[in-house]
Amino acid sequence: MAFSGHPKEIENKMKVTSSNTLRKLIVVGDRVLIKPGKQNDKTESGLYLPPGVQEKEKIQSGYVIKVGPGYPLPMPADEDDVWKGKEDQVKYLPLQAQEGDRAIFLQKGAIEVVYEGEKYFIVPQASVLMLEREEDL
């Protein structure tokens, strides 16, 4: 699965900014919003593939656009905590995926959605097989 463009260039186009509408989206729980990468329409031997063949592959890849808060952790119920707000009562174990990571995930666990004409996948953390992260040194 090949992507067109330099990874930093692709990453900058897909970051959530005030100028794009992805900032309105809230990913819930242990899910990740992934924009699929460009697929080759030709095999290594030169055969052209019909549309939809790559989409049926069991393993897909793309770039992480947004990440949910993570796995909710149970909090001990104390009577003294009644005065706390709701946001103080819920704690989350964060996910490994971060915005801008390249993710390889199982198609079986992903849910395809179209938002403003763009195709995305909502993938649970358990379906993400591998992450590739460009870290600044």
The CATH number given to whatever domain includes residue 65 is: 2.30.33.40
The answer to the question of residue 1 being in a domain is no
Would you call 54 exposed, middle or buried from its count of C-beta atoms within 10 A (0-12, 13-18, 19+)? middle
Which pLDDT band holds residue 16 (cuts at 50, 70, 90)?
low
Alpha-carbon distance 33 to 68, whole Å?
Answer: 8
Residue-range definition of the domain harbouring residue 29? 7-132
The answer to the question of residue 2 being in a domain is no
The answer to the question of residue 54 being in a domain is yes
The answer to the question of residue 94 being in a domain is yes
Q: What's the mean pLDDT when you consider all of the chain? A: 77
Alpha-carbon distance 128 to 68, whole Å?
Answer: 14
Residues in the chain: 137
The answer to the question of residue 107 being in a domain is yes
The larger pLDDT score, comparing residue 65 to residue 24, is at: 65
Alpha-carbon distance 11 to 15, whole Å?
Answer: 6
Going from the C-alpha of 117 to that of each of 84, 114, 120, the distances in angstroms are 42, 6, 10
The answer to the question of residue 82 being in a domain is yes
Structure tokens of 125? 């953390």
Q: Is the pLDDT of residue 71 over 80?
A: yes
| Number of domains present in the structure of the chain | 1
The answer to the question of residue 137 being in a domain is no
Which pLDDT band holds residue 18 (cuts at 50, 70, 90)?
very low
The answer to the question of residue 23 being in a domain is yes
Would you call 25 exposed, middle or buried from its count of C-beta atoms within 10 A (0-12, 13-18, 19+)? middle
Q: Work out the number of other CB atoms within 10 angstroms of the CB of residue 99.
A: 16
